A and B are shown apart, each in its own frame.
Chain A
Amino acid sequence: MHPRWMLALRTVAAWFFTLLLFFPLGWLALTAFKTELQAIEVPPHWLFTPTLENFVEVQRRSDVLLFAQNSLITSVVSTVLGLMIAAPAAYSMAFFRTRHTRDLLMWMLSTKMMPAVGALVPVYVLAQTAGLLDSLTALIIVFTLSNLPIMVWMLYSSLRDIPGEILEAARMDGATLWTECRHVVMPLALGGLASTGLLCLVLSWNEAFWSLNLSSARSGTLATMIASYSSPEGLFWAKLSAASLVAIAPIVAFGWFSQKQLVQGLTFGAVK
């Protein structure tokens, strides 16, 4: 039983770190409703008359809907494609382990340790040669492949929680591989599939590096739109903040409503 002062200290510390983490987003949101002059004032003002002029300017300057559509398409398609590839891979590794399974998983994960810029030139040349520069196809392929290691790992951890004897029982009951997956594995792994899909949706939506380097006017995502507000004249903080808020608002709202599944997916295997 902890003493009350310790509980109070922990509560204060938790609030402090939460506010610290939230501060950049909160500041971004405030700045989006300021004028450019108010945005660069020192000291900054906490009380001001909010304005929507930055959002009007963002909508006027950029085809927000096109960028949002591209973000949505690339995120959703890469997530679905990734799940279709990762799920069978994770299934075979979880239920048909060999002595190399662990090594294979570690190798997959090791590809995430390399900085993306290390693969920029070959990927760019490949996309250019295939005529896929500034196309949604290129982004979908790159997003899928770059998230695949995480998806396989998360699904593998999720499937490992299913006792193998249940699948054996299904086989004894006459289940084929398809009926086994449909009636037994999928219902039991639904939570894991959902968490994995949600996390990769968020990762794809926020992906900026490949979007900036492989896309332009046609296939640019919201990340590309935000970057376009950095101009030779300098950074227009208020407009930049408004553009950023437009870009992150959908995914923040989505994450808010699915936070339970996201946390579940992120903490898989943490405690056994």
Chain B
Amino acid sequence: MSLTSQVLHLARRSVVRTIRQPANWITPLVFPLALMAVNSGGLDAATHLPGFPTDSFVAFFLAFPFIQGALFATVNAGVDLARDIQTGFLNRLALTPMQSGALLIGHLGGVIALGFVQAVWYLSVGLLIGVRIEAGFLGTIVLFVLAVLIVLAFGSFGALAALRTGSTEAVHSLFPVFFVFLFISSMNLPRNLIETEWFQTAASVNPVSYLIEAIRSLVIEGWNEEALVLGFAVSIGLAIVGLTLSTLSLRTRMART
């Protein structure tokens, strides 16, 4: 069996397994949008602040579900991989001629598929409630590419946690850590409007801010080259680090088993 075929089999398994656990796909589809509704209603008045970049808080906040959805997908996928380790599936797989790389790529393929569905869903809801993508059709395609890259980057860290710990509980415990990164970012206000100095500094060194700002720029500004370059650089950088560390961990894990 070729590497491609192995990857496709494992990606299909990952997708089917997600579909069979409704909590794993309903939560990332519903919860980020619920938070978006609450924050948009509650913070709509913030658009009256001098220097606020748009008069629609929903449009400003639309980037948030993409990032939070990626977190959900990542943790759920990491938990699935950890379960494979706990139940001995990985041990059995190690006895087959499957290449270890296929496991990682196949697993992340499933995460990316879910991430893409989420991105389509969030954008559709955004368009339905009146958000306009300032960067147009081409910008929408760029937005999807970026969303998928973010899911890949976060997914590789979810896989890393699963491979390093082999414990579903440990992967679950990552969620609050990711959540801290999300909340201490420019998700609620642009960085130049954050008044508290330490918070502004924390948001500026937090890579999640740049991911949010890249998606946000396509929605509310059009083509902001700086925001896009930073967003793509951060997501690609995170993906490279995450994938490298995951590959190393997978080698150790397969050797151990």
A and B found bound together = no
